[in-house]
């Protein structure tokens, strides 16, 4: 991105961890700074996102009352904090990410008269499998955000076709998330990072499977563990399953693993920095989410050459063509997940699918294209 007059750009995201929305903010913020613009990021807590941004000397502004759960008093506090922040920082562009940041940030930005408001919906929340009342409230919040923003970016054609908001069509742009080139450790070196030599030997004849995800309800890891337990109970060729990530369900998942007596074959590794560099330790990537926009982890797994089983939701079918570049499953059906995993234990099929998927990702999900298309909506000429 190139601009004669540097712009002041403020990115806002609800949480400061390092999930998909935060990775997106990180990529954009670093690229904007490299192009010579003044950049800062505001979030609810200075977590891993803040740690990574500090390495690039990008300031992170904490908003103490910003949190994902609904709390009326804190929502008012967050709104006034954002208004004050926008007035003090005086950004030329505010780029909002995640539902709560979108609602509160768009209201605050209009009050503070920010010249350009961009919102990225990382999967519409009103498409989640929730109660009618919850989805109705989520739609109202999303619609308000879209009305107040100058540009609304969706990350999948699925979300574009399901927006259904009158009066905002001219603001909509579909820009797929994309993956930068990254290095991969060899299978031997990656497994050595993950597990001790005795552990590796104990599973050297197993098929290695991985999920990289926050341990939250939307990621549906309970069904993944149940599917793994069902598969191993019925097959002599076992699968060794690693779940990389942290989150609110860690204890629940550990309890489920003990209940199903599958602890020998299922490990929760916790958060691992640069987990994508370790992907070649595995043979299969499992993404059983109930809801996704267009996940980075899926693009990274495909780029690394893993066989993929993923939910038939959100933007995932725009990456995975069923029985051509991977397998799509019904996230609500443990039996279906189990069946698709079993199919992908066939190494010949995995090679066939991964070759197709790797080419598709390289040709359609370029980071340079994502940055160029996104920055064009800042009213800043692209590089």
pLDDT in tens, 249-305: 999 999 999 999 999 999 999 999 899 999 999 999 999 999 998 999 999 999 999
Rg of the Cα atoms in the chain: 21
Query: Residues 224-235: what's their mean pLDDT?
Result: 98
pLDDT in tens, 101-111: 999 999 999 99
User: How high is the mean pLDDT of the chain?
Assistant: 93
Determine the Cα–Cα distance for residues 365 and 319; give it in Å rounded to an integer: 9
Q: Residue 1 has what pLDDT? A: 52
Res. 343: pLDDT tops 70: yes
Q: Residue 65 has what pLDDT? A: 76
Determine the Cα–Cα distance for residues 224 and 109; give it in Å rounded to an integer: 41
Determine the Cα–Cα distance for residues 43 and 45; give it in Å rounded to an integer: 6
- Residue 75's pLDDT band, with cuts at 50, 70 and 90, is confident
Determine the Cα–Cα distance for residues 71 and 142; give it in Å rounded to an integer: 18
Nearest to 297, CA basis, from 370, 223, 368, 213: 213
Q: Residue 251 has what pLDDT? A: 97
- Residue 383's pLDDT band, with cuts at 50, 70 and 90, is very low
Q: Residue 181 has what pLDDT? A: 87
Determine the Cα–Cα distance for residues 46 and 15; give it in Å rounded to an integer: 8
- Residue 76's pLDDT band, with cuts at 50, 70 and 90, is confident
Non-local (6+) Cβ contacts of 31 within 8 A are 1, 371, 375
Res. 381: pLDDT tops 80: no
Res. 179: pLDDT tops 60: yes
- Residue 46's pLDDT band, with cuts at 50, 70 and 90, is confident
3-state secondary structure of 324: coil
Q: Residue 382 has what pLDDT? A: 40
Q: Where are the alpha helices (DSSP H) in the chain?
A: 20-34, 48-54, 72-89, 99-111, 132-148, 157-161, 187-194, 197-202, 221-234, 250-259, 296-303, 334-344, 347-364, 367-376
Q: Residue 67 has what pLDDT? A: 65
Res. 363: pLDDT tops 80: yes
Q: Which long-range contacts (CB under 8 A, 24 or more apart) does 70-78 make?
A: 75/104, 78/104
Residue 380 in tokens: 């800043």
Longest dimension (CA), the chain: 65
Neighbour count for residue 47 (Cβ, 10 Å): 16
pLDDT in tens, 117-146: 999 999 999 988 889 999 999 999 999 999
Q: Which domains does the chain have, with CATH numbers?
A: 8-178+366-376 (3.40.50.2000), 187-364 (3.40.50.2000)
Query: Residues 358-378: what's their mean pLDDT?
Result: 93
Nearest to 114, CA basis, from 129, 93, 89: 93
Query: Residues 238-244: what's their mean pLDDT?
Result: 98
Residue 238 in tokens: 């076992």
- Phi and psi based region of residue 326 (left: phi greater than 0; alpha: psi -120 to 50; beta: remaining): left
Lowest mean pLDDT among 45-54, 137-146, 196-205: 45-54
| Secondary structure (DSSP) of 71-108 | -HHHHHHHHHHHHHHHHHH--SEEEEESHHHHHHHHHH
Share of the chain above pLDDT 90, in %: 85
* C-alpha distances in Å from residue 141, one per residue of 36, 235, 257, 306: 34, 47, 37, 38
Q: Are 227 and 345 in contact (CB under 8 A)?
A: no
Res. 221: pLDDT tops 50: yes
Strand-pair partners of 154: 121, 174
3-state secondary structure of 241: strand
Non-local (6+) Cβ contacts of 103 within 8 A are 141, 142, 144, 145
Q: Where are the alpha helices (DSSP H) in 203-295?
A: 221-234, 250-259
Backbone angles phi, psi at 93, to 5 degrees: -135, 130
Tabulate helix, strand, coil % of the chain (nearest 5): 45, 15, 35
Nearest to 92, CA basis, from 66, 119, 111, 118: 118
Q: Residue 379 has what pLDDT? A: 79
Side-chain-side CA neighbours of residue 381 (13 Å): 5
Q: Residue 87 has what pLDDT? A: 97
Q: Residue 68 has what pLDDT? A: 59
């Amino acid at each position: 991105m190139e601009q004669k007059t540097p712009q002041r750009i403020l990115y806002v995201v609800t949480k400061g961890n390092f999930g998909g929305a935060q990775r997106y903010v990180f990529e954009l913020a670093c690229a904007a700074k490299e192009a010579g613009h003044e950049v800062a990021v505001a979030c609810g807590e200075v977590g891993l996102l803040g740690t990574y941004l500090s390495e690039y000397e990008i300031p992170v502004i904490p908003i103490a009352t910003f949190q994902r759960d609904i709390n009326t008093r804190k929502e008012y506090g967050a709104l006034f904090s954002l208004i004050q922040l926008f007035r003090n920082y005086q950004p030329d562009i505010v780029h909002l990410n995640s539902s709560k940041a979108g609602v509160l940030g768009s209201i605050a930005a209009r009050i503070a008269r920010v010249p350009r408001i961009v919102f990225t919906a990382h999967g519409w929340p009103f498409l989640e499998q929730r109660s009618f009342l919850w989805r109705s409230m989520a739609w109202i919040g999303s619609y308000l955000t879209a009305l107040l923003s100058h540009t609304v970016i969706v990350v999948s054609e699925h979300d574009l076709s399901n927006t259904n908001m009158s009066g905002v069509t001219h603001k909509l742009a579909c820009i797929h998330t994309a993956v930068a080139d990254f290095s991969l450790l060899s299978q031997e070196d990656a497994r050595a990072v993950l597990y001790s030599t005795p552990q590796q030997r104990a599973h050297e004849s197993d098929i290695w499977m991985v999920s990289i995800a926050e341990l939250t309800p939307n990621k549906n890891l309970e069904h993944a563990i149940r599917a793994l337990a069902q598969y191993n109970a019925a097959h002599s060729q076992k699968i060794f399953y690693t779940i990389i990530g942290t989150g609110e369900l860690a204890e629940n998942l550990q309890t489920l693993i003990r209940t199903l007596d599958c602890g020998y074959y299922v490990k929760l590794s916790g958060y691992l920095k640069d987990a994508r560099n370790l992907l070649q330790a595995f043979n299969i990537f499992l993404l059983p989410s109930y809801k996704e926009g267009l996940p980075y982890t899926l693009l990274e797994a495909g780029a690394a050459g893993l066989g993929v089983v993923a939910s038939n939701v959100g933007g995932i079918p725009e990456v995975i063509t069923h029985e051509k570049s991977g397998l799509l499953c019904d996230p609500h059906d443990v039996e279906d997940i189990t069946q698709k995993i079993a199919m992908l234990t066939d190494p010949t099929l995995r090679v066939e699918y991964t070759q197709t998927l790797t080419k598709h990702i390289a040709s359609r999900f370029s980071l340079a294209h994502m940055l160029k298309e996104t920055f064009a909506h800042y009213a800043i000429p692209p590089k």
